[in-house]
Amino acid sequence: MADDGAGRSRGRACRHLALRWWLRCKASARLRWPVKWPLGARGLVSTDERDVWKWLRHTFHEHAVLVKVPVLRFTTPLDKEKGKANSERWRALLN
């Protein structure tokens, strides 16, 4: 009789762990990044801005000098026609 109770508790523990693992896998599947983004990369800063950035990093070498740019500045749609059709939607999502 004592072994039967221990077996049941082990079974419950295994079911509980399996359920937690399954729920975690299900949740992480929803949070995955898209495999292919419909965006192409562009230069982040112009040549003049890069020169100013280098000068600031050299002048303020004890500080972390970062470039602040909006996401839309360095992304362009891969398909120009689809990009024009969805431009407002992308602006709302990325800003």
The three-state (H, E, C) secondary structure of 13-64, written as one string: HHHHHHHHHHHHHHHHHHCCCCCCCCEEECCCCCHHHHHHHHHHHHHCCCCC
pLDDT-based confidence at residue 88 (cuts at 50, 70, 90): confident
Average pLDDT, whole number, for the chain? 77
Q: pTM of the entire structure?
A: 0.37
pLDDT per position as a tens digit, 2-30? 567 777 888 888 888 888 888 888 776 66
| Beta carbons of 40 and 78 less than 8 angstroms apart | yes
Secondary structure class of 75 (helix, strand, coil): strand
Sign of CA dihedral 79, 85, 88, 93: negative
pLDDT-based confidence at residue 59 (cuts at 50, 70, 90): very high
Q: Where are the domains of the chain?
A: 1-32, 36-95
pLDDT of residue 46: 84
| pLDDT surpassing 70 at residue 36 | yes
